[in-house]
Amino acid sequence: MKKLVFVGAGSMAEAMISGIGASGLLPGEHMWLTNKQDTHRLQTLEQKYGVRTTYNYDELFSDADTVVLAMKPKDAAMAIGEIKSYLTDGMLVISVLAGVSIAAIEAAAGASLAVARVMPNTSAAIGKSATALAVNENVTGEQKWRVKELFNTIGLTAIVEESQLDAVTGLSGSGPAYIYYLVEAMEKSAVEIGLEKHTAKQLIIQTLLGAAEMLTKSDKEPSQLRFEVTSPGGTTEAGISILEKHGVQSAFISCIKEATAQSRKLGSLLGSELASANRRF
C-alpha cells in the first residue's frame, strides 16, 4: 500500500488511523485526509497522528491506491459526485457507509470499481470492533487481504456476502448499544437493591468481561454455560425466570430483526439517492 486516502474525517476515520498507526502497518505520512469543510478537525488529526491533510483533490488522490469513503451517509451522494473523476480502475475503494450498497457506490461514481463494503462498529475507537466486509468481483485477492489487514488493526474482521451486511448491521453494528442498554438496566437495579453506583459499575463491567472471556475460551454453547450457573432453586434460576416471564430473549431477537429491517430500508433510500447522483454531477 502506497497511499491511503480518507474522504471524511470523523470518528471511524480516526479509529482506523489510530489502529493503523499503532500497528506499524502504514506510517502517518502515507495517510491523507480531507473532509467537507472542518479545517480545525483536519488540523487536530494532522497534529495528533502525523497524517497529511488537504482540500486539493489533485494532491489528495495523486498516487493513491486505496480510498476510504468515511463521510456521513447523507453526504455520500455529493462527496462521491465531487471525487468520482479521481477514482480510477487501479484503486481499491473501501466504504464504511452504513446501508449503502456496492452497486449504489458504483452508480454514483459512474464506473465499475474495485469496492469493499465494510461494517465496523463503534468499539473500533478502542481497537475492539467486530467488523464484517464484503467485496465485489473487481477486488483482487491481494486487495481483499489488504482490507482485512487494515481492519484487523481495530479489532476482529470477518468476510461475508454483501447480502448479509444488513444482518451484520442489526447484530454487531448496533450491538454495542444493546449492551449499553443492558448495563443501564443493571445499574438502575443495583441502586434499587442498595449498591453504590460506582461499585456496581465496576462489578457489572468485570462481569461482562468475564462472561465474554468464557465465551471466547470455552467450546461450550452459551446455553450450556448458562445452565451450569443456574442451580435448581438458586438465585440465578430465580432471576432468569423473571427474564423469561417478561420475554427478554424474544425482545432481543425482535430488536435485532427490526434493526436489520431498518438497515435495509435506509440502504434502499440511500441507494436511490446515490443512483441519481451520477446524473447531477
DSSP string of 185-234, one letter each residue: HHHHHHHHTT--HHHHHHHHHHHHHHHHHHHHH--S-HHHHHHHH--TTS
Distance CA 133, CA 145 (A): 11
Angle among Cα 167, 182, 238 to the nearest 5 degrees reads: 115
Q: Which of 157, 143, 152, 160 is nearest to 67 (CA)?
A: 143
pTM of the model as a whole = 0.88
Q: Are 152 and 101 in contact (CB under 8 A)?
A: no
Question: Grid coordinates standing for 260?
Answer: 436489520
**Eight-class DSSP state of 91:** P
Q: In what order do the strands lie in the sheet with 155-159?
A: 52-53, 31-34, 4-7, 66-69, 92-95, 114-119, 129-135, 155-159
Q: What is the pLDDT of residue 278?
A: 57
* Mean pLDDT for the stretch of residues 203-218: 97
Distance of CA 141 to the CA centre of its chain: 22
Grid cell digits, residue 188: 438502575
Question: And the C-alpha cell for 225?
Answer: 454455560
- Rounded to 5 degrees, what angle do the CA atoms 122, 120, 68 make? 110
Mean pLDDT of 1-6: 93
Tell me if the domain spanning 4-160 has CATH number 3.40.50.11690. Answer: no
* Structure confidence by residue, pLDDT tens digits, 127-185: 999 999 999 999 999 999 999 999 999 999 999 999 999 999 999 999 999 999 999 99
pLDDT of 40 reads: 97
* 155 alpha carbon, distance to own chain's centre: 10
Whether 254 and 178 have beta carbons less than 8 Å apart is answered as no
Where do the structural domains in the chain lie, given as residue ranges?
4-160, 173-258
Supply the pLDDT for residue 277: 57
Q: Are strands 66-69 and 52-53 parallel, antiparallel or unpaired?
A: unpaired
Which residues fall within 8 angstroms of residue 88, CB to CB, at 6 or more apart? Answer: none
127 Cβ contact list (under 8 Å, min separation 6): 15, 18, 19, 22, 153, 154, 155
Amino acid at 134: A
User: Angle, nearest 10°, between helix axes 39-49 and 11-23?
Assistant: 10
Whole-angstrom distance, CA of residue 229 vs CA of residue 277: 55
- Residue 233 contacts by C-beta under 8 Å, 6 or more apart in sequence? none
Mean pLDDT for the stretch of residues 184-188 = 97
Is the per-residue pLDDT at 280 higher than 70? no
Q: Could you give the CA distance from residue 103 to residue 175 in angstroms, rounded to a whole number?
A: 26
**To the nearest whole number, what is the mean pLDDT of the chain?**
94
Q: Is 116 helix (H, G, I), strand (E, B) or coil?
A: strand
pLDDT at position 279 over 90? no
Query: Which CATH number is associated with domain 173-258?
Result: 1.10.3730.10
